[in-house]
Amino acid sequence: MLQVLANRTYRHLFLAQVIALVGTGLATVALGLLAYDIAGADAGAVLGTALAIKMVAYVGVAPVAAAFAERLPRRTMLVCLDMVRAAVALCLPFVTEVWQIYALIFVLQSASAGFTPTFQATIPDVLPDEREYTRALSLSRLAYDLESVASPMLAAALLTLINFHSLFAGTAIGFLASAALVVSVALPSPKASERRGIYDRTTRGLRIYLATPRLRGLLALNLAVAAASAMVIVNTVVLVQAQFGLGQRSTALALAAFGGGSMIAALLLPRLLDDVPDRRAMLAGAGVLVAGLFVGVAVPSFVWLLPLWFALGLGYSLAQTPSGRLLRRSSMLEDRPSLFAAQFALSHVCWLITYPIAGWFGAKIGLPLTFAALGLLAALSVLAAIRLWPSNDRDVLAHSHGALDPAHPHLADAVPTPDGLQHAHAFVIDSNHPEWPRSA
């Protein structure tokens, strides 16, 4: 897997991602401490609102940022967004009011909503070989999982030497280092073949997404992934400390079991996807999530929770990590930022739905019924994915052009048929192909 790091451009981008993730992890710890310092017993409400603001920024800003990504050099855009994030991190230690936290978090997460999809859309351009790109996706998944474990440990170590305000300086340094690494390499910036209005550029990714059958299936899988991960993220502490009567270390161990399962799946995925189609692998992962949620209804003790969380981590990574391959297959180079932004926004809409279900249901009707409710939601999502994503999903499709000018260069190899000029090629939704072929 690590041989992909031999590519200098990707190596610098991967290091930029890792360093920025560590900085973000430090900020997460510091933000919790800052909220408690300002709001005291109301810190939970402050953090809950901050997370809601984060989701709103992700859903609302990502498609707009993608519209500008089409016009700006990618390297310039990524560096500017890293600088914005660093500036916000440096402002946070000076916050004295709760509303200031909310305002800065919105700016920070808006910058992240522009940065992350643009960054993700650049990787398949840097690594055009599908095997290398698959390994890059697995490395990215490993980086996210390791960050969730390493950042709290690093923050705890640093807090023995400095106060929590200084953690924000570490976050700023992380974003500045990320910007420096991005500056150090040349990045591809494919330009649109035609001028587009702001509405077209803002909605293009969403329209491509919803017009592509495999991506409609991916959206359904996103909801299944969100159902399982929301249960883990929201209710692990409730299960471990309230239901089983254990302490914070046990909570950390349970979350580590989930992360460990995700990392194992990420390590195995490159070889697995060499032999198994994306659809089969992702549906299998989602099936593990559904089974795990229903098993959770009757989980009797912490000892049984650990392997259950490990299994959910396996399913989570297996169902989610290959999504970049689907987006890559489903877009032209110039449309990738818009399509990755659509995936970013729509996947966070799914979490915006499942987080409240996991929290409110857990508090109102109990954890067993919450497991069952989220398991049912995940099961329905998997059934929808099976229906929406055809089993004979092919890249090259024969299709007709009834409306396109016969003299158009795109039709140079087409042959006449009763339905219009017909030819076959790797099919994606674009200006020449606004709809998916009905026979596909």
| Inside any domain, residue 195 | no
Share of the chain above pLDDT 70, in %: 92
Based on the fold, state whether residues 167 and 301 are members of the same structural domain. no
Give pLDDT tens digits for 100-131. 888 888 898 888 888 888 888 888 888 888 88
Q: What is the pLDDT of residues 163-189, one digit of tens each?
A: 777 888 888 998 999 999 999 988 876
pLDDT of residue 41: 62
Residue 153 has pLDDT above 80, yes or no: no
CB 55 within 8 A of CB 351: yes
Short-list 147, 144, 86, 150, CA closest to 112: 86
Instruction: Give the domain-ending residue among 139, 165, 189.
Output: 189
Higher pLDDT, 201 or 138: 138
Instruction: Report which of 348, 343, 319 is spatially closest to residue 124, judged by C-alpha positions.
Output: 343
pLDDT tops 80 at residue 77: yes
32 located within any domain:
yes
Clarify whether residues 334 and 432 are in a common domain.
no
Question: Any idea which of 275-284, 308-317, 429-438 has the lowest mean pLDDT?
Answer: 429-438
The helix (H) or strand (E) run that includes residue 232 is helix 213-237
Give the 3-state secondary structure of residue 434: coil
Task: Give the domain range for residue 379.
Answer: 203-393
CA pair distance 213, 217, nearest whole angstrom: 6
Output the DSSP codes for 390-431.
-TT--SEEEEEESSS-TT-GGGTT-EEETTEEEEEEE---BT
| pLDDT score recorded for residue 301 | 92
CB 295 within 8 A of CB 348: no
Domain end residue (candidates: 189, 213, 239): 189
The residue-averaged pLDDT of 20-40 equals: 77
413, 439 Cβ separation under 8 angstroms = no
Residues 227 and 371 reside in one and the same domain: yes
Judge if 220 and 357 occupy the same domain: yes
The residue among 164, 189, 214 that closes a domain is 189
Clarify whether residues 30 and 99 are in a common domain. Answer: yes
The answer as to whether 416 is a domain residue is: yes
Residue type, 237: V
From 236, 413, 224, 440, select the one nearest 318 (Cα to Cα): 224
Within a domain: 27: yes
pLDDT tens digits along 275-310: 999 999 999 999 999 999 999 999 999 999 999 999
**pLDDT of 315:** 96
Q: What pLDDT was estimated at residue 360?
A: 85
Category of 40 on φ-ψ map: left (φ > 0), alpha (ψ -120 to 50) or beta: left
| pLDDT reading at 74 higher than 80 | yes
Query: Average pLDDT in the 139-152 region?
Result: 73
Give residue 282's pLDDT: 97
Is residue 33 predicted with pLDDT exceeding 80?
no
Average pLDDT score, the chain: 85
Residue pointed to by tokens 């549906």: 283
pLDDT at residue 425 greater than cutoff 90:
no
183 and 217 housed in the same domain? no
Looking at the 3D structure of the chain, how many domains does it have? 3
Shared-domain flag, residues 27 and 110: yes
Residue 245, phi-psi category: left (phi > 0), alpha (psi -120 to 50), beta (remainder): left
In a domain, 194, yes or no: no
At 348-391, the pLDDT tens digits run: 899 888 888 888 888 888 899 999 999 999 999 999 999 999 99
| Same domain for 264 and 413 | no
In a domain, 137, yes or no: yes
Share of the chain above pLDDT 90, in %: 32
Q: Say if residue 323 is in the same domain as residue 179.
A: no
Return the closest-CA partner of residue 421 out of 394, 399, 437, 436: 399
pLDDT confidence bin for 200, thresholds 50/70/90? confident
Residue 162 has pLDDT above 80, yes or no: no
Cα–Cα distances (Å) from 161 to 31, 35, 105, 147, in that order, read 18, 21, 26, 21
Does 158 map to a domain?
Answer: yes
What is the side-by-side strand order in the sheet with 420-426? 396-401, 420-426, 415-417
What is the model's pLDDT at position 198?
63
Whether residue 156 has pLDDT greater than 70: no
The CATH code of the domain that includes 145 is 1.20.1250.20
CB 326 within 8 A of CB 215: yes
How sure is the predictor about 199, in pLDDT bands with cuts at 50, 70 and 90?
low
Strand partners, 324: none
Q: Provide DSSP, 329-379.
A: HTS-GGGHHHHHHHHHHHHHHHHHHHHHIIIIIHHHT-HHHHHHHHHHHHH
**Number of other CB atoms surrounding residue 83 within 10 Å:** 16
Is residue 52 domain-shared with residue 159, that is, in the same domain? yes
Helix ranges, 238-361 (H) = 248-275, 278-296, 302-320, 323-329, 336-356
| 364 and 420 assigned to the same domain | no
